[in-house]
Amino acid sequence: MAPLFTAILALSATALAQRTQQVVWSAVTYTYHGEKTPSLFPGPYDLTPVGAQQLYEAGQIVRARYITGSGNSSLTNSSPINGININPIDNSQLNILATDDPWVSASAMAFMQALYPPRDTVVLDLESMLGNSSLEQYPLNGYQYPNIETLSMLDFHHLWIAGADNCNNYDIENVVSLSSPAYVQEIQSTNAYYQSLGNSVFWAFTPDELNYGNAWTLWEYAAFEYQHNQTLYQSGNFTADDLATLYNLASQQQRLFNTPDSTGTVKAMAGRTFASKVLQSFQHQMASNGSAEKLTLLFGSFEPMLAFFALSNLATGPSASRFNSLPLHGSTMTFELYSYTPMPMSQSATIPFPSTEELWVRFLFRNGTGASDPFVEYPLFGRGNSQDDMTWSDFVFGMGAFSLGDLVDWCLECASGSLFCEAILLNYYSEIGSGTDTPKKAKTLSAPIAGVIGATVTIGLMLIVGAILALVGFRLDYHPREKRAVSDLGVLKRSGSGGGFKGAEKLASDTDLTMKGGAGASVVRHERVGSWELNDSPDKRSALDKDIESGRGLSKTTYGRPSEDGHGIGGVDPYGEPVKALDQV
């Protein structure tokens, strides 16, 4: 009976497909930035020409799939979004977010140049026609100007595309990982291999710096050199096999730093907040009956990808081997919201927006931007290969199991010191104290007291970690920054987003900590002045940070405005009047 029942279902599905056509209502894409200047270079850190081409090619494929509907069958099928503009850009249909890292924002611009290329024909409209009967054209042969929102860490929207930034508990969890027996063992077992490359690609670095603790930054540096250094490429001393080995080691390290473990999902925070953004975008599309946020384009580093792969069971599902490695530059993952409508439909017919029960979602991933790298559909949440399409309700249930969209929850789970968290938590505790809100967790402390306790706990954790490191043979040495041909290595550098825990480039105000490992390894971490790791600055610029932490530097502005983001922001306005410097004689 079972085979017969399965056959009947298959025939029914085939008949349905023959009588209907798919209508894509909205898509949310996340694209990893293009190749950038390596973090181990002295800077500046920018998108390279290779990186710009990578993102331009990524934009071409997305345009072919969602805009023009002229998909190349070898790379993508055609799935045009219903009602989206084909030639002139309409920014009201798009939602484009990027972190404010120069290489990420530049990646978004290169992508958009392909998504909506210049219009090389003069358009006869009111804006182009002049009173003297002449026509005016946009510069650069009709260049089109997208509205790209570049988000700094002071903007709470930043966490949707980089949820691990400013997440102190994420940083603490990864510092603890450095002292684990497995991590120390990996440093020891790979030490000989890293040292063997000291006379070729890593000739500029000391032996102490060549170790697994710097796996990602070393791979990024080697990949750039192999791509751009003709002498190295042709020497034979460093081969594509060596580069592949470094890539695998870097992938292993970053999976450890950005996927859930036995203690929880804090390490996968970037994937949790990203999942919430996908749900938000689709919900806005549904609330507008198909008119808003037709295409959401997100740009950032690889952390949200690795975290989401793990959380959604892609890294353990039928295609696990494709999701257990670092994505390549320009990689894109996309979610599509679609429905079925009866056939045939005339081109002029208006398709009504379907009910929630009629909506479906699918996930696709394209790893890299090569000519042999197509968009491929994959099943989420441990479903079988034949279940890659899922109903909207199943999608919401799967994403809701790990997504984090409440800003209060993010601030609390991360123990973040972000300025917007100060305002949000102040409002949150005020609501609890006045009895106007029900706390999600039993918390009766005031915001200032909670802040003091949080700082004390952080210091205590650092002391515990230091004791653990000492037991396994690590030693912390402080030394002033030295001038070198290339900048010092940094542990826990998180791709384009990152140097150390806080940013990619090493600033003039940054100081260094060197960890001497029991395995004979040296791991140099860049510490951003004013961060939780160092809390003290060699100059006077940290005074403002201390004033903010103590409450003396907080603006007295009333942060009150309604928010479309729900309870997550409460009555707080993160865009209120900023902190003002104190001027006096």
> Is the distance from CB of 329 to CB of 343 less than 8 angstroms?
no
Check residue 16 and give its pLDDT.
Answer: 52
Question: Which helix (H) or strand (E) segment is 333 a member of?
Answer: strand 332-342
How would you class 292 by CB atoms within 10 Å of its CB: exposed for 0-12, middle for 13-18, buried for 19 or more? middle
140 — alpha (psi -120 to 50), left (phi > 0) or beta?
left
Backbone φ, ψ for residue 399 (5° rounding): -70, -35
Backbone φ, ψ for residue 30 (5° rounding): -125, 125
Rounded to whole angstroms, how far apart are CA atoms 374 and 72?
Answer: 9
Strands annotated E in 352-430: 360-366, 376-378, 390-391
Bridge partners of 475? 516
> Is the distance from CB of 533 to CB of 459 less than 8 angstroms?
no
pTM of the model: 0.74
Tokens of 378: 């994959």
User: Residues near 291 by Cβ (< 8 Å), separated by ≥ 6?
Assistant: 83
Rounded to whole angstroms, how far apart are CA atoms 162 and 406?
Answer: 15
- SS3 state of residue 257: helix
313 — alpha (psi -120 to 50), left (phi > 0) or beta?
left
Residue with tokens 């929207």: 157
Bridge partners of 379? none
Nearest C-alpha neighbor of 505 from the set 50, 35, 100, 42:
42
Check residue 480 and give its pLDDT.
Answer: 37
Check residue 511 and give its pLDDT.
Answer: 37
Half-sphere exposure of 207 (CA within 13 A, CB side): 7
Q: Tell me, what amino acid is at 123?
A: V
> Is the distance from CB of 86 to CB of 68 less than 8 angstroms?
yes
Nearest C-alpha neighbor of 215 from the set 12, 495, 446, 477:
495
Rounded to whole angstroms, how far apart are CA atoms 146 and 88?
Answer: 11
Check residue 577 and give its pLDDT.
Answer: 57
- SS3 state of residue 137: coil
Whether the bond between 44 and the residue before it is cis, its omega within 30 degrees of 0, is yes
Check residue 492 and give its pLDDT.
Answer: 35
Any idea how long the chain is?
585
Backbone φ, ψ for residue 24 (5° rounding): -85, 125
Rounded to whole angstroms, how far apart are CA atoms 336 and 363?
Answer: 7
Spans of the chain below 50 pLDDT: 1-14, 439, 441-457, 468-572, 574-575, 585
Rounded to whole angstroms, how far apart are CA atoms 270 and 333?
Answer: 15
Question: Which helix (H) or strand (E) segment is 24 a member of?
Answer: strand 20-32
User: Residues near 455 by Cβ (< 8 Å), separated by ≥ 6?
Assistant: 549
Check residue 134 and give its pLDDT.
Answer: 77
CA angle 351, 345, 67 (to 5 degrees): 65
DSSP string, 217-255: HHHHHHHHHHHH-HHHHHHSSS-HHHHHHHHHHHHHHHH
- SS3 state of residue 109: helix
> Is the distance from CB of 525 to CB of 490 less than 8 angstroms?
yes
User: Residues near 471 by Cβ (< 8 Å), separated by ≥ 6?
Assistant: none
Check residue 104 and give its pLDDT.
Answer: 97
Check residue 12 and give its pLDDT.
Answer: 47
Check residue 453 and give its pLDDT.
Answer: 40
Rounded to whole angstroms, how far apart are CA atoms 398 and 454?
Answer: 32
User: Residues near 500 by Cβ (< 8 Å), separated by ≥ 6?
Assistant: 490, 491, 492, 493, 525, 526, 527, 528
List Cα–Cα distances, 478 to 460, 490, 545, in angstroms: 20, 14, 22
List Cα–Cα distances, 382 to 282, 309, 366, in angstroms: 22, 11, 19
To the nearest 10 degrees (0 to 180), the angle between helices 215-228 and 240-258 is: 150
Check residue 466 and give its pLDDT.
Answer: 55
Strands annotated E in 417-542: 475-479, 511-516, 522-527
Q: Which residue stretches of 302-380 are H helix?
A: 303-311
pLDDT, tens digit, 9 for 90 and up, residues 215-273? 999 999 999 999 999 999 988 889 999 999 999 999 999 999 999 988 899 999 999 99
Q: Tell me, what amino acid is at 584?
A: Q
Check residue 396 and give its pLDDT.
Answer: 95
User: Residues near 54 by Cβ (< 8 Å), separated by ≥ 6?
Assistant: 34, 35, 329, 330, 369
Strands annotated E in 256-311: 295-300
